[in-house]
Chains A and B, each alone.
Chain A
Amino acid sequence: KIHRDSLPRILNHRDSLPRKNSTHRDSLYGNLTQRDSLPRNSTQRDSLPRNSTHRLSLGRNRRQSSMNSIPRNLDRRFIRYENTFRMEPDDDRRIEIANVKRIGNLVVESAIKDYQYDPNNAKLFTSRLSEQLRYHMKQLPSNRFKYVIHVCMGQKQNQDLRVTSRCLWDLKCDRHVTIVKETKDCYLTVTIFCIYSE
């Protein structure tokens, strides 16, 4: 009897030592470790007796219940933030169309003021203009919006041009602004789309 009582104590003693090394890593980083480090953890776990692995897995399940609810094969890059349950923009985050239009007009007018159409330079001009507009849109206080800025510039040579766009989006939250400017020898069409994303 004495011999049998001493056995559990020896097992517990062995439990405590390996658990110090591996519980931290397993519990905190269990599901999040990279695939290279998995074999290391598994070899450590194999050396532990059965009692301690059972206890380890219980702890891990409790601490990481939210991670276990997501299926393993789901691509992790789609999981960014928790659900905010916000379907529409807040009052203070709502985007002001008049504001967007005013900023757009300012930027475009200052860019096109003394501009002579130059085929070599035009490519750089349009890309720089769209990047400037994007920078200004990012400064707006509403931060749940995604922006698309489309700049179309051409030379005036009595040709015909038509720019059309259709969108499939949420009528309440998503907006667009169009600005058209002309100079002596070129025309410029700017369309800014603002899309709400929760």
Chain B
Amino acid sequence: MDDANEVAFIVDEVSNIIKESIEVTIGSQSYQQAKINTWTSNIVEAILNSLTKLNKPFKYIVSCVIMQKNGAGLHTASSCFWDNSTDGSCTVRDDIDEIFSFVIERQFAYIFF
């Protein structure tokens, strides 16, 4: 049987992965409408790839919102029906000059002992 620590949801590790992939993809570039499509898909795919490399028995959902800073308001809410002891989520907000990005990552355990 796996050790309990291997199956636990570690927030720090996951948030580091997310921050790294945002920095690598967008860096400090300004908002470019043509590239926004590739940016979002690159971020999300990079995060998912590094999460699968962790080799943990989890299903993942990664969601990314990128918005141009225009003075407009944005509100996000998320409600989940899951098992609190095995599942978790991690949210990373990033404020670059003209871009506001927001990544949510959720993990669901799919192995029961």
Q: In the complex where A126-B77, A146-B87, A160-B31 touch, is A71 in contact with B61 (Cβ < 8 A)?
A: no
Near B by CB (< 8 A), chain A positions 159-193 give 159-170, 174, 191, 193
Tally chain B residues at the interface, Cβ within 8 Å: 51
Fill in one digit per residue for B69-113: 1 if any A CB lies within 8 Å of its CB, else 0: 111111111111111011100000000000000001010111011
Contact A160 B60 (CB under 8 A): no
Contact B33 A160 (CB under 8 A): yes
Contact A166 B73 (CB under 8 A): no
Q: Which residue of A lies closest to B104 (CB)?
A: A150
Contact A75 B4 (CB under 8 A): yes
Q: Which residue of B lies closest to A168 (CB)?
A: B60
Fill in one digit per residue for B41-81: 1 if any A CB lies within 8 Å of its CB, else 0: 10111001001100000011111111111111111111111
A137 at the B interface (CB under 8 A): yes
B26 at the A interface (CB under 8 A): no
Residues of A within 8 A of B51 (CB): 168
Residues of B within 8 A of A154 (CB): 67, 72-75
Residue positions of A touching B, CB distance < 8 A: 70-71, 73-75, 77-81, 83, 117, 119, 122-123, 125-127, 129-131, 133-134, 137-138, 146-170, 174, 191, 193, 195, 197-198
Residue positions of B touching A, CB distance < 8 A: 1, 3-4, 7, 31, 33, 36-37, 40-41, 43-45, 48, 51-52, 59-83, 85-87, 104, 106, 108-110, 112-113
